[in-house]
Amino acid sequence: MRLLKRNLLVTFRLFVMCLCGCLIVVLFLTLFPLVEVNTCHRIGSGGAVNSLSNVIASPVLNEKDHFLCLIIPFRDRFEELNEFVPMISEFLNKKSIAHAIFVVNQIDTLRFNRASLINVGFIKSEKVLHDLGSRNCDYVALHDVDLMPLNTELSYAYPEKGPFHVAAPGLHPKYDYHEFLGGILLITREHFNLANGLSNRYWGWGLEDDEFHRRLLDSQLKILRPVNITTGKESTFKHFHSARARKRDMSICYNQQEVTRKRDRDTGMNTVSYKMGRTFQNCIDNVAYTLLNIELLCDHSKTPWCNCKDAPKVEMKRNLPRDEDVIVPIIKRKRKTVK
Ligand code: UDP
Ligand code: MN
């Protein structure tokens, strides 16, 4: 009898200790949440509130469905973002595509590095979704913030057969050369991993997408593009980009040209160097998105052109020798016809 009492007492104590432990964990998570939560208060279809849709634009409902993560490299484009987020979410909802939006915001003072931001977005989106209690997405869209699909025929479906370049030459309002791979590209997580993401050497505007194109081909991937789109360069997309207000950083300094004109076999998603800033769960017009503040780090001995301030002026060299490692596209200039 005594033994039974003692056993009961020990069990009871253990129970109280576990309860206290749980309470401490709950209190800690309440005070220091893993992600900032500022919910969107979306009402799901049928009037039911789906709690995940307060933090994910369009959560995946059916286990069998595909789930898309939009990865948006970003700095100082909040005007464009305000337009983009509600519009793209509506476009994707009309196609019944479950999606989460990740805005990867570069907060350091180095030159903009679109490719490294995409690498970080790819890595971090998985962790954020996990912390929010969601399944991971199985494909991503590397998506410019200022390029909006207008033609509803454009597919954003799971690109099973190979990376799908939505903003194809002939459809993109500005870029029209065969190798162009920028703007909007859909790729499965598996294929992105296979290519080890993008090169981290591209600070400033341009060439990172051309290098990525070559990586994908070297990974034996076939790049697919939309077919039967008849809206042409004028009305397939809206590119809300004023070249005057949003100047492209085309400076060249140090040995940037020599290095970045070549295929990079050393850097990629597994070498991207950064510090995480704060993560925000934000909302635009009741569409939820995640803002990831990222401080990119630069090894100045390897890529001194990550900061061109105070650098000696360098002229762009023309007619440099070409070999199979050169990734710079040859773009035929259209001759102006004299009328
Ligand atoms: N971007 C940004 N801030 C910048 C530069 C670029 O947010 O200072 C992002 C933005 O998503 C933009 C994309 O990078 O759409 C591509 O840059 P940009 O529009 O300058 O290139 P374009 O394709 O128009 O030449
Ligand atoms: Mn643009």
Taking only the tens place, the pLDDT of each residue in 278-309 is 999 999 999 999 999 999 999 999 999 999 99
Measured from the alpha carbon of residue 72, the closest ligand is 1
262 within ligand 1 shell (Cβ under 6 A) = no
Residue 169 DSSP symbol:
T
Taking only the tens place, the pLDDT of each residue in 24-51 is 655 554 545 444 444 677 554 443 345 8
Taking only the tens place, the pLDDT of each residue in 80-94 is 999 999 999 999 999
Distance 145 CA to ligand 2 centre (A): 8
Residue pointed to by tokens 């500022």: 38
Residue nearest to atom 16 of ligand 1 (CA): 144
| DSSP strand pairing (147-149 vs 237-239) | antiparallel
Q: What pLDDT does 21 receive?
A: 62
User: Across the beta sheet with 287-296, what order do the strands follow?
Assistant: 164-165, 184-188, 139-143, 67-74, 98-106, 287-296, 274-284
Residue pointed to by tokens 């590119």: 239
Domains and CATH numbers, the chain: 31-306 (3.90.550.10)
Residue nearest to atom 24 of ligand 1 (CA): 241
144 within ligand 1 shell (Cβ under 6 A) = yes
Taking only the tens place, the pLDDT of each residue in 180-199 is 999 999 999 999 999 999 99
Q: What are phi and psi of 264, to 5 degrees?
A: -105, 115
Q: What pLDDT does 46 receive?
A: 43
71 within ligand 1 shell (Cβ under 6 A) = no
Whether the pTM exceeds 0.85: the reply is yes
Q: How confident is the model at residue 5 (pLDDT cuts 50, 70, 90)?
A: confident
Residues 6+ apart with CB under 8 A from 149: 88, 91, 156, 166, 184, 236, 237
Residues 6+ apart with CB under 8 A from 305: 111, 203, 204, 252, 253, 254, 255, 256, 260, 311
Alpha-carbon separation of residue 259 from 62, 207, 255 (angstroms): 46, 11, 6
Residues 6+ apart with CB under 8 A from 178: 169, 329
Q: What pLDDT does 36 receive?
A: 40
Rg (CA), the chain: 24
Burial 128-149 (b: 16+ CB within 10 A, else e): bbeebebeebebbbbbbbbbbb
DSSP 265-292: SS-SGGG--EEEEEEEEEEETTEEEEEE
Distance 146 CA to ligand 2 centre (A): 5
